[in-house]
A and B are shown apart, each in its own frame.
Chain A
Amino acid sequence: MNAVDAKSITQRFGKITAVDDVSFTVSEGELFGFIGPDGAGKTTLFRIAATLIIPTGGRMTLFGLNVVSDFRELRNHIGYMPGRFSLYTDLTVEENLQFYATIFGTTIKENYHLIEPVYKQIEPFRKRRAGHLSGGMKQKLALSCALIHKPRILILDEPTTGVDAVSRTEFWEMLEGLKREGITIIVSTPYMDEALRCDRIALMQQGRLMGIDTPAAIRSSYGKKIYAVSHRDRYRLLLALRAMTDVDSPEPFGEAVHINIREGATVDDVKKSLERAGLEGAEVTEITPGIEDVFLELMKKGS
């Protein structure tokens, strides 16, 4: 049985189609990621999975339970972390955790082993009000509260947005730990490096799924060679590359600009053109494509 089975899920809000005919399955114990720009429909899809909204069309089951008709039973098995911090800021860390434990009919003690790796980091602050925690600690508390009833599936909507880099890494290590406990996790993220840590990822844009595969397979699905071009004057470099007929789709990526080279042209041709444009010493090196490169390529095809 699949942990998640979604068939042709569609969600319309008036004239806007937020999720458009989306189908996917997630196996039990899988760490499944959704990546896509803001407004891609990830949050809407997660809200449907969390039994918060009823889809306009399609059918979704979690562990064979329908998200619409069996929502009551399902809510005992779902741990949900909305994108926005949604715990009580005027209650303390401990009170929040205790509250969520009691309304699920359990105690902190009973499932302490499950939350321990997460909770012990914020336990020293258990008397502090949740509103006075830092972003990283808030997120750990939210995860603890989502875990306290021992859910079978965690639905995490952009859990690391607005969290510092160290906390982000820690957070993903915790997720991997939970995965080892057998908990299925679906997570959305705008960070491509985090997507690499998932078993499989789904690329989403404008409400549609553009591809689902393992990170490795997605990267290798990039059929073309890709080069990173760098020069200290990045702005002029980008302008020059955009003007070149030999170069396809230059995209700035951090320090470098990623490009494809049109058929019939070579790396040397590009270097020469750059020199002619007054950009001496520009480096052009072939690289293995990242998820972003695939994603941008798919986006271009899609639109």
Chain B
Amino acid sequence: MKKLLFLLRKEFRQIRRNRFMIRAIIAVPILQMLIFVPAITFEIKRIDLAVIDNDRSQASRELVSKLTGSSFFVVTATPATVTEAESMLLSGDADIALVIPPDFSRGLAGVTTPRLQVLADAVNASTAQLSWSYITSVIRDFNREVIISTGMIPANMAAIRTGSLPGISVSPRYWYNPKLNYKYYMLPGMLVILITVIGLMMIGFNLVREKESGTIEQINVTPIMKWQLIVSRIILFFIIGLFDLALGLGIGWLAFNIPFEGSLLLFFACAAIFLVAVLGLALFFSTMASTQQQFLFIAFFFVMVFILMSGIFTPTESMPLWAQQFNLVNPVAYLMRINRMVMLKGSGFSEIMRDMAMLTILALSYLSLAIRAYRKRA
């Protein structure tokens, strides 16, 4: 036990001396939180619209101004022909093109049935769908106003004065994230990525460095046991991981005013279990590598797979069955879910119990896998 303390003191000294490490421990959480949380978003803030107005009437201008009034649409061009608009979609100068037919205003007067055409760049299917739904909702509004103003509905109906039509009205209420703030969704996930990277990469480098620099040779001839060496490393990076998590959370709170509904204690307890799993994995990878480069390659590959599959960007429930099965052994997926539940929904122990139990089993399995691999090599 005393020896463990001596080892820890040595490790802390070395970390303190290592400027790169210190910088990484401080800078990684700050940068990751401040850059990725606001940058990565699926929200659409600006859609470049090309309008081919073949009608050039007051009605068509009203429609266009209604679109541009919505803050999503910016009319970037007014090409004369559809062919011209198509080439703009191709070059990326426009995301969506609206073709207004020559009989648009006449149609509104009830003479013909006007047909609007919308062409959308659907390379990114989800953006195309979102733009499509924005544009159709604006057109629907416009249509309703036209119906009201042309008096196709009896003028004495109360609804007309309030500007709405009779029918089923749906009023959504968004729970847990009422303003649909995308940052609230990304930040808990970013915290998971943060401690994955810190936990997996840093301990690995530390373990492999001792091998690479040969200092392990000298240590091996002392009465220090291998487990003491490993445990001292795990404790060190466990502390660093939790520190960075707290730092990241603090930044989230200060910079984005992120809500924290659940229990901090539960949040950190889950992170602690997760860190054991990740440190175990790093230890396992380190037995396969004899240089830091080799370790980097192995760890980078797995970190990438774990993160992309974890559900940070896309819901895991929509993934193919094999991917969902893979996520059973993906610690990142568990903590991703737990963090969002605890931070945003305020879930308690009983709601996350299943995930916590699985994460614990994973942590113990990875750690024992690592210890077995480490013994074999030694």
Contact = CB atoms under 8 A, between A and B. Distances in A.
B13 interface: yes
A72 to B, nearest CB: 7
B111 to A, nearest CB: 86
Nearest to A86: B218
Given A90-B14, A90-B17, A90-B18, A103 B217 contact: no
A52 B220 contact: yes
Given A86-B214, A88-B14, A51 B7 contact: no
- DSSP class of B's interface residues: helix, strand, loop or mixed? helix
A129 B14 CA distance: 11
Interface in A47-90: 50-52, 72, 75-76, 78, 80, 82, 84-90
Contacts, number: 57
A129 B224 CA distance: 23
A91 B214 contact: no
A75 B222 contact: yes
- DSSP class of A's interface residues: helix, strand, loop or mixed? loop
B58 interface: no
A103 to B, nearest CB: 5
A90 B19 CA distance: 11
B17 A76 contact: no
Nearest to A142: B218
Contacts of A72: 223
Interface stretch (A94-102, A190-198, A247-255, A274-282): A94-102
Contacts of A89: 213
B10 A80 contact: no
A89 B222 CA distance: 18
Given A90-B18, A91-B13, A75 B214 contact: no
B221 interface: yes
A145 B7 CA distance: 16
A24 interface: no
Given A95-B13, A99-B6, A103-B3, A87 B222 contact: no
A86 B215 contact: yes
Contacts of B224: 103
B267 to A, nearest CB: 34
Given A75-B223, A103-B3, A91 B10 contact: yes
A91 B14 contact: yes
Nearest to B10: A99
Interface in B1-27: 3, 6-7, 10, 13-14, 17-18
Nearest to A157: B217
A102 B3 CA distance: 7
Contacts of B14: 88, 90-91
A103 B221 contact: no
A82 B223 contact: no
A87 B223 contact: no
Greatest chain A CB density within 10 A among B7, B17, B213, B218 is at: B218
A76 B223 contact: yes
A76 B7 CA distance: 17
Greatest chain B CB density within 10 A among A78, A80, A129 is at: A80
B218 A80 contact: yes
A88 B213 CA distance: 9
B215 A50 contact: no
Given A52-B220, A82-B218, A103 B6 contact: yes
Nearest to A47: B217
A139 B36 CA distance: 49
A175 B155 CA distance: 113
14 contacts: A75-B222, A75-B223, A80-B221, A82-B217, A86-B214, A86-B218, A88-B10, A88-B215, A91-B10, A91-B13, A99-B6, A99-B10, A103-B3, A104-B222
Interface of A: 50-52, 72, 75-76, 78, 80, 82, 84-91, 95, 99-100, 102-105, 129, 145
Interface of B: 3, 6-7, 10, 13-14, 17-18, 213-218, 220-224
Closest 9 CB pairs of A and B: A86-B218, A80-B221, A102-B6, A86-B214, A90-B17, A82-B217, A84-B214, A86-B217, A86-B215
